[in-house]
Every structure is written in C-alpha cells, then in structure tokens.
Amino acid sequence: MARLTLTDDDLRVRKWLANELQKLDCSLHVDQMGNMFARQAGQLRSTAPMIAIGSHLDTQPRGGRYDGILGVMAGLEILRTMKEHGYKTQFDVGLVNWTKYILPAFIASSGLELIVLTKFSEEGARFPKSMCSSGVWAGAIRIQDAWNLRDIHDPSVTLRSELERLGCLGNVECSSNANTGFPLAAHFELHIEQGPILQETGRSLGVVQGAQGYRWLKFTVHGRDAHTGTTPFGSRKDPLLSAARMIAASKDIAEIHGALASTGVLAIPPDSSTNTIASEVTFTLDIRHPHDSVVHTVQDECLKTFSQIALQDGKGVTFDWTMDTDSPAVKFDKDCVNAVRVAAEKLVGPDQWMDMTSGAGHDSVYTSKRCPTAMIFVPCRDGVSHHPEEFCRPQDCALGTQTLLEAVVEYDKFMAGKCSVN
C-alpha cells in the first residue's frame, strides 16, 4: 500500500470512510490538520468527550496494508457491529482517522520539538519535516509549523495548501481544548506489533503498558588519515577501529541492563579507500528502555567505556557527541490498560496475552498526553512493518478487533460507574 497523506488517493479513502460512517448515523468532524472525528451517540446523550478508537489510513511510500489501517478498520467494524446489534454504549463513542504520515517511517518526536529527519525527504516523502497531526492535537507541535511544511518536489505546495485543495482543512481547531477543539474521553488503538515478540512467544495479544524511553546520540570520532601500508598500528589514530569497538561495547552494555542499544547509521568521509585509515567516523546510537533511568545509565556507561576505547589503540582518537532526540518513556493510563487486560483475559485466557511496551511511535503516544490511552498489539509476520511484506493473519485482525470492542465497552462501563459513584 502506498497511500501518502493528503494525496488524491488519501482523499478517496477519506471520502469512502466518511460515507461508511454516515451510514452508521455518526456525526463527522474534521479539524484544521485534516484529522477526522466520527461520533456515535451513546445512551446517556452526554455532552462529555467521546471514547475514541483511533489510528491512521495513510501509509509509508512503500508500506503495508496493516500499519494504521487495521486500527481504523477495526474501529469502523466495531461501530457497525454495535449498530447491527442495536448495542449502545453509555457515553458517546467514535472513530478518529489521524493525518499521520506526513513523513514516512519512524516518525519521532521529542517532547515539544519536531524532529527533522531530512534523510526521509529522499525516500518519497512529500514534506521535509517529520510530524504527527496527533502531535498538533496534543499541543506538542505548533499548527503553524505544520502548515508551513513545503512539498519537497514542489516548494509552492504547503501542507496547508494541500489541506485546502483536497477540502480536508476542517473548521474544528486541532486541539484537545474542551471549548474550541475536539477533546477525547479516552483513546484506544489497535496496531500490529511491528516486532517479533508475539510471534516468537506464541501469544495472540499484547496489552501495551506504554512506550519505551529512548535517546538518539550521534558520535563523531576524530582520527588521522594515514596509509594502511606505511603506518604501524602504534602510530595510528584509527577512528573506524575505535568506532567498531564502541559499537560492540554499546550492545554488550545495553544487554547487561536489559536495554537496547543500536547503531543504524555509520558514515566515513566519501574519499575513503581500502588503503587509507579514515580521518573521521560518525555513528548513531539509539538507546531504549521502558524506564528512563535505565536509558540514562546505559548512556553513562557507554560514554565511560567509549572514553577508555578511545585510548586503546595506537595513538588514540578523540570523540564528541550530541543528543539528537530525548524521548522520555510514556506510561499509558492504568484504567484504560486494565480495560484491555480484562478483555484479553476473557477472550484468550491467561497464557495467550502478555504485557508489552511499544518500541515504535504511535498516535497514542501523543493522545496519552491529553487523555487516558491504551493500545492493543497483534502479531505481524516476522515482525516486519513499513514494508510490502507486512502481514497480519485474518484471525489475528479479528481477535484484535474483538479485544478492542470489549475494551471500549469495558471502559464505557467503568466511566459510567465512576459517574454514578460521583
């Protein structure tokens, strides 16, 4: 699936979705970032914010058919099922289609900042910055910054001009503000795991507790270029050798702490050659753990060990580093998570579900800043996502959807109970 956000393809699926939602007597609201909110009335006819099921229908330039799409389709199916069975929740419930993949893949946000991943602009993204409309909704990203993003292929096109052209620039403020925006009582999201854990442990459902904290560091190791044939080991300042030892050490350190440390990018000067020691090496280090304190410990130990490694070979190297992203861990709402757990336990019993922590970014990470949030993971084949081979078995899609339905019903009852107690 290649359905880039705010393209004609995206518009077609938005129109289809709006039409399906109308058949279900939902009221439809579009905000100023094109986020679609469908609302189905509950028995109480309460004006309180709705309990939302949300995800996104847009995809990576070369994505799969499940990432995001499963979550929205599940929400639609749940609203249909409720209508078909004449079942009405106490509070209003509804569906959100977030405008997500303004940039493809690995959208990362750090607190209140946009993370610029310029490299993605080479991969077919339309706009040169990474952001989420759920981030604008949550107040983490300024709408003007989002609107001003320009199409990398045609700088005369901005995100706002595309929203206008497609008729997706709604009149609702993109925020959770109770008076001017579209606040939510809760946000539930069903998503493929995007990792191999459920498949490898033979589980059907993941009850997501929150999102890992992570830090992205970038290291530059400085050495001196020298001829490999004429320069003895003792005379060298070899930054690639030192970087290799650092990368190996970071994995070993992270493993001791049950954390992750990964190097995805390593770059040497373009004029490098087989018989020349590189002058400089740059590499990234991505450290993750569900607890921020462990992320910090791994970072500290890596820095200490790297300093020792820098002196280990030849005449030694120097290095400096920057922190490009600092994304603290997110903990989802305990009552929302509990609603998912109750549903999972009921549907598959104690051995078939497990607690998990999300390793990837999701709209739910943003919504959790403004409303009680939880997520459900279902297995995907070999953990592959953002790829045409992405696959989730039909029975897993169905089981995830059923869990989502029952979690929403559970949470609706929980809210109603709280009200009656109050």
- Report the alpha-carbon distance of residue 217 to residue 298 in Å, rounded: 12
**Binding residue (CB under 8 A) for a second copy from 275, 322, 420, 422:** 275
Run of H or E residues at 247: helix 239-256
Q: Which region, judged by CB under 8 A, interacts with a second copy, from 82-90, 160-168, 181-189, 225-233?
A: 225-233
Helical packing angle, 69-84 and 8-23, nearest 10° = 20
310 binds a second copy (CB under 8 A): no
Q: Which region, judged by CB under 8 A, interacts with a second copy, from 25-33, 78-86, 104-112, 294-302?
A: 104-112
Q: Which region, judged by CB under 8 A, interacts with a second copy, from 49-57, 71-79, 143-151, 258-266?
A: 258-266
313 binds a second copy (CB under 8 A): yes
Taking the CA atoms of 361, 364, 365 and 366 in sequence, report the sign of the dihedral they define: positive
- Report the alpha-carbon distance of residue 22 to residue 75 in Å, rounded: 14
3-state secondary structure of 30: strand
Task: For the CB of residue 256, give the shortest distance to a second copy in the complex, in Å.
Answer: 11
The answer to whether the CB of 278 falls within 8 A of the CB of 240 is: yes
Taking the CA atoms of 366, 368, 371 and 372 in sequence, report the sign of the dihedral they define: positive
Q: Which is nearer to a second copy, 54 or 239 (CB)?
A: 239
* Dihedral in degrees, nearest 10, Cα atoms 111, 136, 77, 5: -110
- Report the alpha-carbon distance of residue 26 to residue 324 in Å, rounded: 43
Amino acid at 309: I
305 binds a second copy (CB under 8 A): no
229 binds a second copy (CB under 8 A): yes
Q: Which is nearer to a second copy, 6 or 208 (CB)?
A: 208
Q: Which is nearer to a second copy, 111 or 229 (CB)?
A: 229
- Report the alpha-carbon distance of residue 294 to residue 299 in Å, rounded: 8
Task: For the CB of residue 287, give the shortest distance to a second copy in the complex, in Å.
Answer: 9
Task: For the CB of residue 270, give the shortest distance to a second copy in the complex, in Å.
Answer: 8
- Report the alpha-carbon distance of residue 294 to residue 303 in Å, rounded: 14
114 binds a second copy (CB under 8 A): no
262 binds a second copy (CB under 8 A): yes
134-144 burial, b for 16+ CB within 10 Å, e for fewer? bbbbbbbbebe
Residue 30: name the closest of 174, 140, 135 by CA.
174
Residues within window 324-383 making contact with a second copy, judged by CB under 8 A: 324, 358-360, 383
**Binding residue (CB under 8 A) for a second copy from 112, 178, 256, 265:** 265
Residues within window 179-198 making contact with a second copy, judged by CB under 8 A: 193-197
129 binds a second copy (CB under 8 A): no
59 binds a second copy (CB under 8 A): no
- Report the alpha-carbon distance of residue 346 to residue 180 in Å, rounded: 39
Residues that bind a second copy (CB under 8 A): 105-106, 108, 117, 119-120, 122-123, 193-197, 200, 212, 214, 216, 226-233, 235, 238, 240-241, 243-245, 247-248, 251, 254-255, 260, 262-266, 268, 270-278, 284, 286, 288, 313, 324, 358-360, 383, 385-386
